[in-house]
Structure 1
Amino acid sequence: MSEISREILSVGDLNRAIAASLEDRFDTVWVSGEISNFKAYDSGHWYFSLKDEEGQIRCVMFRGRNGQVGFMPQSGDLVEVSASIGMYVPRGDIQLTIQTLRRAGMGGLYEAFLKLKAKLAKEGLFDEERKREIPTHPRSIGIITSPQAAALKDVLSTLARRTPHIPIVLYPTLVQGPDAPAGIISALKAAEKENAVDVILLVRGGGSIEDLWAFNDEQLAYAIANSSIPVVSGVGHETDFTIADFVADLRAPTPTGAAELAAPRKDQLLQELDAIQQALLQRINQRVEREAQTLDQLALRLNHALPNPDRMREQITSWQLRLNQAWSVRMENWKRNQSHYQSQLEMLNPQRTLERGYAVILSKESEKLHAVRKPSELNTEQGYQVQLAEGQAEVKFSEVVQGP
């Protein structure tokens, strides 16, 4: 064949031919490697490269697929992907179009996670319509976690800072290992039976998929979905996702985040109270203005209709004075009641009592802390926690002498 008769391809035609050849040659393949240059676009699509010590290849995972991953990948993560091989024609780059992505070395667990996630999603356990609303002003907050968990300290510290006046109830349980799911379910049932809290925080610190596997239990998912008390899930780090996160009424990125979502800040409550006061005063002023306008209209009508307008004007003036006086008295009463309620709220703040030099002794005899009220409850065998204005201390008495 001469050079003249040989077909000359455009770059696009050549790239399309190569892409078709790759698609015909390779079926879906599994590839492992390290993620680099990871980017998540506003469209929801992910773009990154997979690399090892011998090479790298570009990858794309579209929004419809990556929604099933269960965690947000980061550069440096070791992963395994199933993908089709093709070419991005405009750039001439060979790339993997990814259907499935999982952390490297956890194929079996990850497959079980995806299978259960798909099953529960089909049953509607993740639907927003069935999720309960988290109370904005809870009367008490329950915490389900291990007493030894570092997450508990973070949650208690956050709640003490934001809402020291709200009681806390701890439902201790294992949060890792084969016995953990049953323990968490029992804690949920105990909270429902006692009916002492308005919201439950289900929390645990971060870890591997094996460490967090208790929160991927199917029976636990049903228990959370059927709980009569709203549940806020704060399990692991921000990039960790478990079945409990999807079925809970609200998912927090961390245990601390769960505490922040469940507990309103004290200064925010005071601001809301002030806003209510201002709105009330505004409504009163508007009502007074409307009534004054009505009086003006009546005065005008009387001026034209009655034979003795001077006397009627005097009556109108008297009525206006009485009305203004009545509204003034009522507004002063409302203001006085508002100040009284604010003072009462501040007096009920336990922190004020501690700042006057008092302290609270908490008994650690059982898993739940409770205040010591009688000298007979003190002994030298057990330890106690003393709550002060600026912190707390662990103490143990060497001698207890009861007064008369």
Structure 2
Amino acid sequence: MELNAEPQSRQKSAISISDLNRKVKHTLESELPSLLVKGEISNFTAHRSGHWYFSLKDQKSQVMAVMFRGNNGRVSFQPKNGDEVLVRARIAVYEPRGNYQLVCESMEPMGAGDLQRQFEELKKKLAAEGLFDPKRKQVLPKFPKQLAVVTSPTGAAIRDILNVLKRRFKGLEVTVFPCKVQGDMAAKEIREQVALVNELGYFDAMIVGRGGGSAEDLWCFNDEALAREISMSSIPVISAVGHEIDFTISDFVADLRAPTPSAAAELVAANSAEWMDKINQNKRRLWRAMQNSFLYSQQNLFRLKKLLGSPEKLLEAKNQRLDDLRWRLDRLASQNIQSKKQSLMRLRAGLQSPQQKLAAVEQKRKNLEDRLIKQSQSILQNKKQKLASLKSFEQLTRSQLNVKRSELHYAMGKLDSLSPLKVLDRGYAIPLKDKQAIRKSTELKVGDKVELRLSQGKAFTEVLQLEE
């Protein structure tokens, strides 16, 4: 009896899940009626009802939150993922599920959140290095044969890609390079698979991406090392991460961004049905052009045949014309030969004998020699006369130069005798006061300092006595 009493007692003291949630709700809502909470917005959704549903998070935790239409109408800005905000909220517990959320009554911005700030800083850094430059982008081939897809092998993205490719272009061979697409190791695995695709080297294009998710789920595609690996890829890369509104660093460094994985498949693979329609249209255009060309050539042939007439008659007329031209050629040739003969006879009659020509040339040479001798003698005589004139001029110049030299020596001697320096050489001195020559004793007074300029050097003295 005592053994069974304890379990029964514990069963009676146990509470149900509903009671537990009710007590938790009462405790939290009564103990924490209003709170100021700061955090970063993620998973933001503006419902068509007007209510806002989102999460508030920091580096370690997150909590669900709601802001109803009556309160969010007073918010002065449009919140978005990555915004760091300060909210006044109360805690509300939803008993059926046992979870709690913040019911926000007001919201103020506190600047960009940590993740968004990291995203913007990395974006600016890579842009400054030129990794987003459109000139670096590679062009996708129109008809790729080998396609590499770097994504999760079990996610919705690979199923969407394969379905689109199967519908659009069955001849494209697809190789999946499996990797994680969220979590701490995802960026490393994606980077290694991108490097492996380039190492193999036989692929024509590469899709890197995943389906939609929160900003945290997509964060591995904002990894700097992954971005640099994609930018260095020698194979054109299509980034297909999340939905159309999601942007990651991989989108900017890739050669092409697709809003979704399905859109990436449509970009890389040509629509075989559309191309077959184009081929058939071109085939019909070519056939019509060939028919038109054949009909035109046939009509042109008939027209030319009418213009030409019978070939036999045309040939007879040409033969007759040929005979006529041959007869005229023979007659002109005979006349030309006769004319040449007559010209040759006239030339032969007018030619002189070699002896006569040689004598005429010799006479001409002698005449030229005589003229040359006379001209040389005349030039020589003129040169002699000019030389004599130059000698006479030289003698006259030397005589005048000697006279001028004598006059110069006389003038220099006279100038030298009048020089004050010569007077000083004879023992005289020049008295100076304030660098002015003294001529009279009245220009001085007792005690004045006087400078004496000597032939060599200077001397200084003082006036002790004056006499006129």
TM-score under structure 2 length normalisation: 0.43
From the two aligned structures, give the one with the greater helix fraction: 2
Higher relative contact order (CA 8 A, sep 6+): 1
**In terms of Rg, which structure is larger?**
2
